[in-house]
Amino acid sequence: GQSLEQPSEVTAVEGAIVQINCTYQTSGFYGLSWYQQHDGGAPTFLSYNALDGLEETGRFSSFLSRSDSYGYLLLQELQMKDSASYFCAVRSGYSTLTFGKGTMLLVSP
Amino acid sequence: EAGVTQSPTHLIKTRGQQATLRCSPISGHTSVYWYQQALGLGLQFLLWYDEGEERNRGNFPPRFSGRQFPNYSSELNVNALELEDSALYLCASSLRGRENNEQFFGPGTRLTVL
């Protein structure tokens, strides 16, 4: 089966940088995705890493190390609107995703 | 372009009843996924439909079932409702074959079982 571990909560202040880690165990691996979900809203896609290394998209970056079964989401220049839950998800075949339990990010002024 | 839509927004049922949830994918998307999001448990994969066929299902009992229609919309049925079925049910759609498998989520149906 698959399992993913990520911190349940992270706090930071506006303008700071925060890193949300994700470790996974899976049989078969195609890639690691990150999704953002604001309270009560629909999850939205942030990034996808299939190969080792860093992918940058604006203020957000995502990193993957396949040998360590580890990835992280890096959020820079934090804004209040970044307060949300962040989920890592593993694609392990059959086009389905297994999600972690999510990390709640609280950004304070 | 319209996003993924789900109906109803809220659904209240009593234990033992049946619930039917509906989802319309983004135009052109053939894959539909259903997830259950219970408090504190993240998103748990329920079912994947593509081209009218069930392609995969998660670790849920058979009373969770569904189907996909020729227009790619989908229906999730939950029979013999139990209290622990209370959750947000999310539907997502994607273009099959996209390497990153980006899934587009609807706003969800909040199911409450009393």
Q: Which residues of chain A are within 8 Å of residue B55 when distances are taken between CB atoms? A: 94-95
Q: How far, in Å, CA of B99 to CA of B97, rounded?
A: 6
Looking at beta carbons, which residues of chain B come within 8 Å of A48?
Answer: 100-102
Please answer yes or no on whether B102 and A42 come within 8 Å at the CB atom.
no
Provide CB contacts within 8 A for A44, sequence distance 6+: A35, A36, A37, B105
Question: Does B107 sit within 8 Å of A42, measured CB to CB?
Answer: yes
Å between A46 CA and nearest CA of chain B: 9
Interface of A with B in 21-50 (CB under 8 A): 30-31, 33, 41-45, 48, 50
Contact A95 B31 (CB under 8 A): yes
- Nearest CA to CA, how far is A86 from chain B (Å)? 10
Put simply, the answer to whether B100 touches A31 (Cβ < 8 Å) is: yes
Q: State the sign of the Cα–Cα–Cα–Cα dihedral B60, B95, B75, B35.
A: positive
pLDDT of residue A97: 87
Would you give the distance in Å from CA A93 to the centre of its chain? 19
Q: State residue A88's pLDDT score.
A: 96
Q: What is the pLDDT along chain A (109 residues), one digit of tens a residue?
A: 778 999 999 999 999 999 999 999 988 888 999 999 998 799 999 999 999 999 998 999 999 999 999 999 999 999 999 999 999 999 876 667 899 999 999 999 9
What is the arithmetic mean of pLDDT over B24-45?
A: 92
pLDDT for A94 equals 64
| Residue among B64, B3, B2 at smallest CA distance from B34 | B64
Segments of B5-73 assigned E as strands = 5-7, 10-13, 19-24, 31-37, 43-50, 53-57, 64-68
Structure tokens at B31: 């894959």
Question: A95 CB near a chain B CB, below 8 Å?
Answer: yes
Interacting residues of B62 by C-beta distance below 8 A, sequence separation 6+: none
State pLDDT tens for residues B55-99: 999 999 999 999 999 999 999 999 999 999 999 999 999 987 666
CA distance to A8, A99, B4, B85, per residue, from B92 (Å): 24, 13, 7, 19
In 3D space, the residue among B109, B113, B71 whose CA is nearest the CA of residue B92 turns out to be: B109
- What pLDDT shows up at residue A92? 75
According to DSSP, residue A39 is labeled: T
Predicted local distance difference test score (pLDDT) of residue B97? 67
